[in-house]
Chain A
Amino acid sequence: MRRILIVEDSGSTRAFVRAVLEAPDFAAPQGGCEVVEASCGFDAMRLLPRDRYDLIITDINMTDINGLELIRFIRRSAHHRQTPLLVISTLRAQQDAERGLALGANVYLPKPFTPEQLRESCAQLLGAPRKASESSGGGSRTP
């Protein structure tokens, strides 16, 4: 079972990503996919230390903690230093995307994207061997 975290403040975009990635045509070859949704950077920071994720997808333009800050946080954290990271943001935000990549994101997928493009990027990132989840992240209390 692959666990994917989507950090995005638009509920429909999250629903869209979930629909695409949890659909059997994508999920089955991966041995099943579970998409976990975070609606802001803080949500993500709450979720990340508690669990293993095989892929993190994040938007950049979010209130409070922006996606770049989140990427930096993730790359500095104990658990997800090496978890594949996909940045989704609009095409016009080139500079933001570049900064995201510089901070350690692996792939930038401009919005809007088709289901096919999303599947492709995710498959590519999930295909990479995963090292960074020694699963020490369980056992935390809930807030």
Chain B
Amino acid sequence: MNEGGGRGDGGARDDFFSEAQELVDGLGRDLLMLDEMLKKGHVEPEIINDVFRGVHTLKGLSGLFGATRMAGLSHQLEDVLDELRLGRIDVDAGVLDLLFRAVSLYARILSSEKGEAEDPVHDVEQLLLALGQVSNRRAGEGVGAVAQYELDPGLLGVLTEYEEHRLRANIQQGFALYRIRALFSLATIDTALDAVKANARPHGEIITYLPTGSGGDADSIELEILMASKASLGVLSKAIQTGGVSVEEVQRRAPSHSIHATGLPSPPSDASGTAPSISLHPAHPREAPSLRGGPSSAPAPISDVPGLVASNVPSPATGAKSTRPGSGEMSLRSVSQTVRVDIRKLDRLMTIVGELAIVKTAIAKLTDRARSRFVETREFATELGRLNRSFERHLAQMQNGILEVRMVPLGQAFDKLARIVRQISREHSKEVNLVVTGAETEIDKLIVEELSDPLMHMIRNAIDHGIEARDERLRVGKPVVGTIALNAFQKGNHVVIEVEDDGSGMDPKALTAAAIRRGVVTSDEAKELSQREVFALVFMPGFTTKEVATDLSGRGVGLDIVRTNIAKLGGVVDIMSDVGIGTKMTITLPITLAIINVLLVEIGGNPFAIPLASIEEAIVLDESALRTIELREVLSVRGVSLPVCRLDRLFGFASAEHRRGRSFVVIAQVGDRRMGLIVDELVGQQDIVIKPLGRSLARVRGFAGATELGDQRVALVLDAAALIEEVLIPGETRFFGAADAGRS
């Protein structure tokens, strides 16, 4: 391993991809937070440093793993970020745009490193150029006034350049410096320190954390935290004191009229009396608590410093950053195939495996007994049956457990969307607020990945064409800031995702008119359309051309692709809209694609599988309840009429023979649509693994794939969602032709 300059072995390279992906996602989140802060007019320096550190790490990584394009971009980006965090250039929306661009480029570079996409050479060069211009904007930094504080020169020697800059910047703003001292148990320091940070943060900025090297044994450590704050000592003590931590103010030197340029790292020199005091040595020895000193001697005899030392470590507090969004331009799919798994999920699986091992042993014993002839058959059968049930139960648990491992929160996809919202709303100069609920809803990792792009299209559409321009919103009395709500929730075996905007909505009449003009439907057909079907027209391939979209100020490009991609995942998209109020698109998706429970049916002597998740019920067909209404066969079920489809006819088996006896109706429901599928026989339920149909048949709609039934037969798996759409939505005949041709 490790031959060849700069490349690690394969395993390390996989690590590289997943870490790089995480860093890039993190960058996106941080940038969004930064954006938010910028809008509110208060940028916390720490966030810029976080971004810097992310890029810094990315650069190191890409260098090690020979990802030169990425290293190059990171290098330049790091320069800019360094200037930003050191306060040499200001953060503004323009710079932020560049940073966001970098994040999307990172995603593309990663894909290209994996060989999954083109190397975006040109775009990288463009960005590098722009970044170069930013770096040139730098102004000289005002130099700080650290010397006026009683700080141990030793302290200055361990500050990184950035920390030193922050120290200076805070002093320049006239903030006071404080030392916070606390003893931590090494075992719990992370959470305990988070608690201190959480208490301190609202009051100012933590510059650095210094192990004092004293007071601690092997299991504990004393830290001094240097903090700048505009709060008074009293206020700060009150805030931080809680857990048992001491706070004291770093004293200013008495004659502090002179604050001249002094680079912090300059060696401590003895200043002469009249010169600007640049000495870092304590001027008044008695008040010189060394931030880094040995065993803390007497506490500084400063009147208003209460000795706050307590022995308890503060309880952990939430130091976690709120999850925030981020994302890319071309595709939001991440290159990482890694699933991070909660260890408890794996533990549960291990338990089940243990149970299965026991059952296996029991079966082995039973088999031995069976070999000896003295076993009574009945007893034997009972025992075997018991084992079989037990085995089945554990196997089912195992299956569920593994499925669970594949589950990830939808938030993974949502995070990236917030970045898109920002980008697009800036492009269009519209202010848009993204409100997310249900980000914790879990869904199969594969689906999450495939979902990013369709969601991006939908959101782009909502901003492009849904949310009105600022003036228009003012005119109609809506809040200037538009809202896009992204809601996710679980509903039975499905996950529902809604994208809802408070924009202009769509007028059904205008939609129909445009559809007729485009030849998507005839005017006769148009009369038959329900409102839902009218709105669904925007998903038609012929419909979503630019011209029409502009006509209607309606829906833009790409919605037909959205529908196709969602259908590939076994889901459906619905759309509802109210003129002037807004539009809501609803995606309904199965929770997982891996193993599915199906109902096996027979049609024309061939086995077919229908996913149970999309089946409401199966009933015996009562031919007398069938009617034909406007060329469509409709079955009346408990007083409700239900469109039906004779699958034998649809698949071209019909003429083969006229069946005797009962047929069955499988009532399928996907989203809000229902349809009865007429089949010859119900065979039973089974768990199956879906195999794709392969490239040559990939274009045939209506089938999710095929599966082996275990008795050497292969069944096609019906895609209920696509079937329903194909049969119920007019104007499209792709499916029937293709399916007919595909059958023999």
- A9 to B8: give the CA distance in the assembly, Å: 18
Cβ of A28 within 8 Å of any chain B Cβ, yes or no, is: no
Chain A residues, Cβ within 8 Å of B189: 42
Q: How far is the CB of A106 from chain B (nearest CB, A)?
A: 17
Further pairs besides A9-B57, A13-B57: 9, Cβ < 8 Å: A10-B61, A11-B19, A16-B12, A60-B160, A72-B292, A111-B64, A112-B62, A112-B71, A141-B219
The interface of chain A, by Cβ under 8 A from chain B, is 9-13, 15-16, 19-20, 23, 25, 41-42, 45-46, 49-50, 60-61, 63-66, 68-69, 71-73, 76-77, 90, 92-93, 95-96, 99, 102-103, 111-116, 140-141, 143
Is A63 in contact with B53, judged by CB distance below 8 angstroms?
Answer: yes
Is B186 in contact with A66, judged by CB distance below 8 angstroms?
Answer: no
Question: Which one, B207-215, B396-404, B494-502, B579-587, is touching chain A?
Answer: B207-215
Chain A residues, Cβ within 8 Å of B193: 64
Which of A12, A25, A76, A102 is B64 in contact with, Cβ under 8 Å? A12
Count chain A CB atoms within 10 A of each CB in B71, B78, B157, B190 and give the residue with the most: B157
Q: How far is the CB of A52 from chain B (nearest CB, A)?
A: 14
Q: How far is the CB of A102 from chain B (nearest CB, A)?
A: 6
Residue of B nearest to A95 (CB): B161
Chain B residues, Cβ within 8 Å of A68: 157-160
- A72 to B160: give the CA distance in the assembly, Å: 13
* 13 A-B pairs with C-beta separation under 8 A: A10-B19, A12-B16, A12-B20, A15-B8, A19-B12, A20-B8, A60-B160, A61-B53, A64-B209, A69-B158, A93-B161, A112-B63, A112-B64
Tally the A-B contacts, defined by beta carbons under 8 Å: 133
With contacts A12-B19, A45-B211 known, is A90 near B60, CB below 8 A? yes
Is A90 in contact with B65, judged by CB distance below 8 angstroms?
Answer: no
Q: How far is the CB of A105 from chain B (nearest CB, A)?
A: 12
Q: How far is the CB of A94 from chain B (nearest CB, A)?
A: 9
Q: How far is the CB of A24 from chain B (nearest CB, A)?
A: 9
With contacts A12-B65, A73-B211 known, is A42 near B157, CB below 8 A? no
Q: How far is the CB of A87 from chain B (nearest CB, A)?
A: 12
Is B61 in contact with A13, judged by CB distance below 8 angstroms?
Answer: yes
Chain A residues, Cβ within 8 Å of B671: none
Which of B57, B64, B82 is A16 in contact with, Cβ under 8 Å? B64
- A60 to B2: give the CA distance in the assembly, Å: 25
Residues 181-214 of B contacting A (Cβ, < 8 Å): 185-190, 193, 208-211, 213
Is B211 in contact with A69, judged by CB distance below 8 angstroms?
Answer: yes
Chain B residues, Cβ within 8 Å of A66: 158, 160, 163, 208
Cβ of B285 within 8 Å of any chain A Cβ, yes or no, is: no
- A50 to B63: give the CA distance in the assembly, Å: 33
Residues 1-36 of B contacting A (Cβ, < 8 Å): 1-2, 5-6, 8-9, 11-12, 15-16, 19-20
Closest 9 pairs (CB-CB, A-B):
A112-B63, A143-B187, A68-B158, A49-B218, A12-B19, A111-B60, A12-B15, A115-B2, A15-B12
Cβ of B56 within 8 Å of any chain A Cβ, yes or no, is: yes
- For chain B, the count of residues having a C-beta within 8 Å of the partner chain is 50
Which of A19, A46, A60 is B8 in contact with, Cβ under 8 Å? A19
Chain A residues, Cβ within 8 Å of B60: 10, 13, 90, 111-112
Chain B residues, Cβ within 8 Å of A95: 161, 265
With contacts A66-B208, A99-B157 known, is A90 near B56, CB below 8 A? yes
- A130 to B56: give the CA distance in the assembly, Å: 33
Cβ of B79 within 8 Å of any chain A Cβ, yes or no, is: yes
Which of A13, A50, A60, A114 is B218 in contact with, Cβ under 8 Å? A50
Chain B residues, Cβ within 8 Å of A65: 209, 211
Is A96 in contact with B2, judged by CB distance below 8 angstroms?
Answer: no
With contacts A66-B163, A90-B56, A111-B63 known, is A11 near B15, CB below 8 A? yes
With contacts A12-B15, A92-B78, A143-B186 known, is A19 near B9, CB below 8 A? yes
Is B213 in contact with A76, judged by CB distance below 8 angstroms?
Answer: yes
Q: How far is the CB of B158 from chain A (nearest CB, A)?
A: 4
Chain A residues, Cβ within 8 Å of B158: 66, 68-69, 71-72, 99, 103
Which of B16, B78, B210, B218 is A90 in contact with, Cβ under 8 Å? B78
Is A42 in contact with B15, judged by CB distance below 8 angstroms?
Answer: no
Is A96 in contact with B161, judged by CB distance below 8 angstroms?
Answer: yes
With contacts A10-B61, A12-B19 known, is A140 near B219, CB below 8 A? yes
Residue of A nearest to B263 (CB): A95
- A87 to B7: give the CA distance in the assembly, Å: 21
Chain B residues, Cβ within 8 Å of A42: 186, 189-190, 221
Chain A residues, Cβ within 8 Å of B265: 95, 99
Residue of A nearest to B162 (CB): A61
Cβ of B419 within 8 Å of any chain A Cβ, yes or no, is: no
Q: How far is the CB of B72 from chain A (nearest CB, A)?
A: 12
